[in-house]
Amino acid sequence: MAVFSAQPVIEIAPEFAAERAPKVAPATLLDLIVARVRMALQSEAGPARSALEARLAGPDGAARSRVTEAFGLSATAIDLLDLACALAADPSLGEAYSAAQGATQRVCPTENLARRLFGHADRSDEPVWRAGMPLAVWGLLVPIARVAGEPDAFEADPRIVDWLRGVVGLDAALVGRARLIEAQPPFAAWPVAATARDAVRATDSGNPARVVVAAAPGSGRATFAAAVAAALNRRALAVDPAGIEDVPDLLMRARRLARLADLILVWRHQDGLQLRAHPAAAPLEFVTTGPRGRIAPIDGTTDLAVPLPGPDRDERRELWRRLIAVAATWPSASVDALSSRPGIVTGDIVAVARSAPSGPEQAIDRLRARARAALGDTARALTPRLRWDDMVLPAPTREALEEIAFEAGARLRLLAEPEPGRLFARNGGLAALFSGPSGTGKTMAAEAIADRLGADLLIVDLAATVSKYIGETAKNLSRVFDEAAGAGCILLFDEADALFAKRTEIKDSHDRHANTDTNHLLQLLEGFDGLAILATNRRANMDPAFVRRIRHVVEFARPAAAERRIIWRRAIAALAGESRAAELASLLDALADQHELTAAQIKNAMLTARYAAMREGGPINAEQIRRGLGRELIKDGRPANAPARATRIRLG
């Protein structure tokens, strides 16, 4: 059974060590190799030498045979490797090496020494150390700084010596980047058996296969790879190459370890990294990428694409309860709400469970904190504070918003059913257009919907998104949608007409790319699993073809007199209390009847009055309210003492 060195090692479970590691007692194999070298130095032949060679070819030499087979070493190459490993195990052999080579400075093995000691002098025209040969490609030997006039001399790579000792150790380049993936029960929707069958068929053709697992980070891509590896009676080793400078060296050392220990490599976060075909990969490897990630093909390698589905609501509910013991005591409705949150992946549930939340509310807060930590600078997240009852809207508008909120919460559940999913899953994402003058409650409505759904509102910064450089706007938009999907946020594009303007006649390359950006945005909307809200006060500027493809269109009008009364009273009640609101009710009703203002203008007028009252050291009075009203009228282009406009009457 293998033992573990004091060097950084892979944390291999005991049962894996028993199955995969060379079954030799510690140091026995190296003792045999040292004995073989000493016999060759002493030109010893006969039954003892034959018996030793037989032991090395049998079970006692399994680890050495594994090196030979895994890297395709010739007889001379294994002889040279034996010399180097024997010197690492017994440094006193250096004197014997120098004596055999007739030079005191030649204490390390050379190709000529290997051929002379082991009877391969007739192969002097077949060097085993050169570019493209296994000893060099796989770094099994390390060349020593060459002195002019001296032949190449070598030392054994420390990890190969460890292997022959029965130790599975990590190279320095892999420390902190490689780990064995613990096998977990796969989710029902994961195509584990099908992927394993496809991988076997692909590798049976003689070419290496690469399984490309596409899903959002934290979705369990590496765990899926481990499940497929387990189905093939193998273990999976995840390697994260992010930020590595010497990619070829990392590639070689990871693939060398995989060949030695019979592991399946899982290259994590592989987007943008070029995995070369040299040195040759093992027959099967995995790479993980994002939903829209692209992996460069490798000549001679068969790629198997696996878009990884997430767990359904029942599986997420079971995961919450399995990972958090006290979740069994939480209200079922709260666990259902946690399990139905969009954008939450398995990794989020695991991370929040590790923090031991005391209740579902704290779990939601920590999910939101994780989501915000992953956001970039092209949008800002807003935790909703406005509630449904804070909105003062006509009944038809409120009903339209109710429909949007319900559909956003039920959409994924409906599409999880076989027939609706088959027929309607490609019908586009859920998008809503809020149109109306400024201050009529469009952003407030988006915030209230977000509160109803228990999600954050992700407000897109168009200044940071739209770029004058060709192609940058599309990249920024893709990043915004990826962040919103990963965070489970509701997207809000304010002043959406800037992005969905009528398509222009193509006069130059800038017009062509502007139209390309709007087309790209429409594609992102249709592929977005969450809710995207577009707000505009210039609907006439928007392309009618785009508007027709948006599922919900809600018009926000200026509030009628009855609605303005409610808004005035709620504003003063919030700022001065219910009793003061009752005292000033007749004034507020008169102002509501006389002046057409939006909800935002009424709130601003009352806020101005409240600050004036604080400055003057008394309660809010009629004069202060009129001053606040006058300021809003001036901002609207009307004199502060402007006569009241005729009150519009909404019919129906």
- Of 373-377, 427-431, 534-538, give the range with the top mean pLDDT: 534-538
In a domain, 227, yes or no: yes
- Is the pLDDT at 36 greater than 90? The verdict is yes
Question: Which of the four pLDDT bands, split at 50, 70 and 90, describes residue 423?
Answer: confident
Question: Which of the four pLDDT bands, split at 50, 70 and 90, describes residue 277?
Answer: low
- Is the pLDDT at 236 greater than 80? The verdict is yes
The mean-pLDDT minimum among 35-44, 71-80, 468-477, 555-564 falls in 468-477
Q: Which residue has the higher pLDDT, 370 or 27?
A: 370
In a domain, 206, yes or no: yes
The mean-pLDDT minimum among 17-21, 163-167, 384-388 falls in 17-21
d(CA 393, CA 441): 9
In a domain, 640, yes or no: no
Same domain, 117 and 61: yes
Same domain, 415 and 551: yes
d(CA 396, CA 55): 88
Question: Which of the four pLDDT bands, split at 50, 70 and 90, describes residue 24?
Answer: very low
Compute the average pLDDT of residues 284-312: 85
Q: Which residue has the higher pLDDT, 31 or 487?
A: 31
Share above pLDDT 70 across residues of the chain, in percent, rounded to a whole number: 86
Same domain, 185 and 286: yes
Q: Which residue has the higher pLDDT, 39 or 18?
A: 39
Q: State how many domains the chain has.
A: 5
- Is the pLDDT at 349 greater than 60? The verdict is yes
Question: Which of the four pLDDT bands, split at 50, 70 and 90, describes residue 384?
Answer: confident
Cis preceding linkage at 279, omega within 30: yes
Per-residue model confidence (pLDDT) at position 378: 65
Structure tokens at 100: 């055999």
Same domain, 431 and 500: yes
Q: Which residues contact 432 (CB under 8 A, 6 or more apart)?
A: 404, 531, 532, 533, 534, 550, 551, 552, 553, 554
Question: Which of the four pLDDT bands, split at 50, 70 and 90, describes residue 149?
Answer: confident
Compute the average pLDDT of residues 313-318: 87
d(CA 49, CA 32): 11
Query: Which domain covers residue 486, as residue numbers?
Result: 388-555
Beta strand pairing call for 263-267 and 284-289:
parallel
Q: Tokens 């006069």 — which residue?
A: 507
**Overall pTM surpassing 0.85 (yes/no):** no
What is the distance, to the nearest Å, from the Cα of residue 179 to the centroid of all Cα atoms in its chain?
18
Q: Domain ends where: 292, 307, 322?
A: 307
Compute the average pLDDT of residues 390-403: 92
Same domain, 74 and 208: no
Question: Which of the four pLDDT bands, split at 50, 70 and 90, describes residue 355?
Answer: very high
Per-residue model confidence (pLDDT) at position 147: 76
- Is the pLDDT at 509 greater than 90? The verdict is no
- In 152-208 the beta strands, taken as DSSP E runs, fall at 154-156, 178-180
Same domain, 348 and 438: no
Compute the average pLDDT of residues 516-521: 74
List, for residues 317-343, the tens digit of each pLDDT value: 999 999 998 998 999 888 888 887 777
Do 572 and 588 meet the contact criterion of CB atoms below 8 Å apart? Answer: yes
List, for residues 77-104, the tens digit of each pLDDT value: 999 999 999 999 999 999 999 999 988 8
Q: Which residue has the higher pLDDT, 288 or 1?
A: 288
Compute the average pLDDT of residues 151-169: 91
Q: Which residue has the higher pLDDT, 649 or 35?
A: 35
Per-residue model confidence (pLDDT) at position 649: 40
- Is the pLDDT at 27 greater than 70? The verdict is no
d(CA 171, CA 162): 11
- Is the pLDDT at 432 greater than 50? The verdict is yes
Q: Which residue has the higher pLDDT, 69 or 385?
A: 69
- Is the pLDDT at 582 greater than 80? The verdict is yes
Same domain, 587 and 516: no
In a domain, 381, yes or no: no
Per-residue model confidence (pLDDT) at position 375: 72
Same domain, 440 and 547: yes
- Is the pLDDT at 123 greater than 70? The verdict is no
| Order of all β-strands in the sheet with 284-289 | 178-180, 235-239, 263-267, 284-289, 209-214, 302-307
Number of Cβ within 10 Å of residue 428's Cβ equals 16
Compute the average pLDDT of residues 564-584: 92
d(CA 328, CA 320): 9
- Of 270-274, 497-501, 520-524, 590-594, give the range with the top mean pLDDT: 590-594
Structure tokens at 360: 């579902």
Q: Tokens 């990630």 — which residue?
A: 293
Compute the average pLDDT of residues 625-630: 92
In a domain, 35, yes or no: yes
CATH number, residue 282:
3.40.50
- Is the pLDDT at 499 greater than 80? The verdict is no
CATH number, residue 399:
3.40.50.300
Same domain, 244 and 325: no
In a domain, 142, yes or no: yes
Structure tokens at 335: 């666990």
Question: Which of the four pLDDT bands, split at 50, 70 and 90, describes residue 374?
Answer: confident
- Is the pLDDT at 63 greater than 80? The verdict is yes
- Is the pLDDT at 595 greater than 60? The verdict is yes
- Is the pLDDT at 530 greater than 60? The verdict is yes
Ordered alpha helix ranges (H), 21-133: 28-41, 47-57, 62-71, 75-89, 93-101, 111-118
Do 455 and 490 meet the contact criterion of CB atoms below 8 Å apart? Answer: yes
Question: Which of the four pLDDT bands, split at 50, 70 and 90, describes residue 223?
Answer: very high
Q: Which residue has the higher pLDDT, 84 or 290?
A: 84
- Is the pLDDT at 413 greater than 50? The verdict is yes
Share above pLDDT 90 across residues of the chain, in percent, rounded to a whole number: 45
Q: Domain ends where: 167, 193, 214?
A: 167
Kindly report the CA angle at 115 between 111 and 121, in degrees rounded to 5?
A: 120
Beta strand pairing call for 235-239 and 178-180:
antiparallel
Closest C-alpha to 598, from 560, 639, 640: 560
Per-residue model confidence (pLDDT) at position 8: 38
Per-residue model confidence (pLDDT) at position 620: 92
Same domain, 422 and 547: yes
Same domain, 270 and 327: no
In a domain, 6, yes or no: no
Q: Domain ends where: 167, 201, 223?
A: 167
In the predicted model, what is the mean pLDDT of the chain?
83
Same domain, 479 and 568: no
Number of Cβ within 10 Å of residue 92's Cβ equals 8
In a domain, 458, yes or no: yes
